[in-house]
Amino acid sequence: MNKVELTKEQELAIAEFIFALSTDTLIISEVTKCLDVLRKTNLMSAEQYMKECQKIDMNVVVLMQDILDEKILVEQGKELMAKYTSGKL
């Protein structure tokens, strides 16, 4: 898996998701923003995007953890969180 090129806005959406997940404050808008990033960067097909959007009400946390684990490197997630917690995003 390669590091994904993301805009600052996309990095912020993913970092907010990771932060909310780690602090147990996750809300649906953070999940949908993260899905939008994956779709807009072609890491997710339109068909998969629609299926995942339909699953949101079922089990948001497990769904996004699985998707991010497949699409974003753990190291990149740590880099995003370092930027996020230092106020650089």
pLDDT, tens digit (0-9, with 9 covering 90-100), for 19-71: 988 888 878 888 889 999 999 999 999 999 999 888 876 666 676 777 788 88
Let me know if residue 17 belongs to a domain: yes
- Cβ(15)–Cβ(8) below 8 Å: no
- Cβ(84)–Cβ(19) below 8 Å: yes
pTM value > 0.85: no
Can you give the pLDDT at residue 53?
A: 85
Q: Would you tell me how many other CB atoms lie within 10 Å of the CB of residue 51?
A: 11
Let me know if residue 61 belongs to a domain: yes
Let me know if residue 44 belongs to a domain: yes
Let me know if residue 19 belongs to a domain: yes
CA 64 to chain centre: 7
CA distances from 68 to 17, 55, 62, 87 (A): 10, 15, 10, 22
Instruction: State the pLDDT confidence band at 74, using cuts at 50, 70 and 90.
Output: confident
Let me know if residue 3 belongs to a domain: no
Domain count, the chain: 1
Let me know if residue 1 belongs to a domain: no
Better-predicted residue by pLDDT, 70 or 14: 14
